[in-house]
Chains A and B, each alone.
Chain A
Amino acid sequence: MSVAKREYSGASLSSFLLALGHSQALVEKILRDAGVERIDPDRWYDFDWSIGIYQRIAREIGRGAVIAVGKKIIESAEFPPGIDSVQSLLTSLGAAYHLNVRGSQVGDILCTLEDDHSATLEWSAGGPCALNFGIIEGCCARYGARALVEHGAGGCMETGAPACIYHVSW
């Protein structure tokens, strides 16, 4: 298998699908339409195919539900011992993302901390924009902080921009 081939981890895709909870019938239908019965957490899937699954589910369940799913994924995920604050979690998102993708041109998540309670994230990683909102909110909620997440001006990946910018305050 070529290293340059863009792939997405089944474990990550599977955790997203599990977080959908009551929408399992919808998940099964979308997977069937995409040609598989289930997602195997131990294997790798084609990157674009995986992102397509995210996008299709996002279209079906709506923005609010996708944000909730993103939040739930982060709140219930296990992180290494060094990750113990909103800041450390936000700055580790890029590394966590790269554990779940391989190949070239798979995007990135770059976090710039602005002060003790605000940061800017430049997000070129694949996936629905609403899910990213949920993930960022989840990073703050995990440590009891209420977040204000705003999409930066200058375009969104879903409308063709190369990256989404998020400003988060907590």
Chain B
Amino acid sequence: MPAAWLERSRAGLVDDLSRRLSSRIGSVFRLVGEAGSRELAEATLAALLKDLRDNKREAVRGVVLDMVQRLAARGLSFADVRHYVQSTRALLLGAIDAAVDLQPGAWRRIDDWLFDLMLVATMHFVAQREEAMQERAAQLEVRQMESQLVELKAAFAEKTRLLELIRQASTPIAPVVDGIVVVPLVGVFDAFRAEVLTEKLLHAVTEARAQVVILDISGVPVFDAEAAQLIIRLGQAVRLLGSEMILVGMSPDIARTIVELGVSLGGLRTLGSLQAGLAQALALRRLKIAPL
């Protein structure tokens, strides 16, 4: 029985295998030392003994999987796996050759087990390395995405800052005379811009104690029903603060559009030019511009 033979030879084989494993330079077995190598040698021979007794090849899988899992983090390499398999094979086959009491066929049974040891060890090693590579690739992807996110956040913050700068610059509020402010609108006047202007204008009216606001729309290229509604709402908000809004710079095209759309400007005072608007505002404030 090869199992009985192995039982007798086991202690010597464990000694030799653990010594061989731990003496290899640059190997993970050297790193775990003689004690760690002995543990593996004992487990390997115990697995062989069990499989020989049970006439199976199951224990070999367990011992190899355990080795790969335990030593992967310490830097297990293919060269280590090969050294482990080659050392185990060389020792066992050498011991069999020296044995005198083994039945014919014992060599074959052990060699088959060693072949399985090689296959299973290689398979588990490759699987473990594949898993580690996938993990590294995933970590790399996460790092790349995090880096992209940081760049996007920075770009978004910069864009927001520039947009705010443009908005501030595109809706200037100029206090021209005490109690009179002029708001020249240039460019498309949409709901978003109306919201920004309303907030800014109401604040300026309160701060400057403005009684008249002159809104110049001569720089607005398109004046549709929505823009008209926004202007009316702006006028109502200004009026709630006790000020009056004068709409100036209305071109003939805009006037025609307003008529065609049937939009009522809701009692907003409208004048053709900024000069006319300013004159009206001065009159409302009982002021006049006199030559020095």
Contact = CB atoms under 8 A, between A and B. Distances in A.
Given A153-B31, A154-B31, A122 B26 contact: yes
Query: In terms of DSSP, what is the predominant structure of the interface of chain A?
Result: strand
A17 interface: no
Interface in B130-185: none
Interface residues of B, number: 14
Interface in A126-170: 148, 150-154, 165-167, 169
Interface residues of A, number: 14
A152 B78 contact: no
Contacts of A112: 25
A122 B30 CA distance: 15
A108 to B, nearest CB: 14
B79 interface: yes
B28 interface: yes
B77 A167 contact: yes
B79 A150 contact: yes
A3 to B, nearest CB: 31
A129 to B, nearest CB: 13
A150 B78 contact: yes
Contacts of B30: 153-154
A120 interface: yes
A91 interface: no
A153 B74 contact: yes
A166 B80 CA distance: 11
Interface of A: 112, 118, 120, 122, 148, 150-154, 165-167, 169
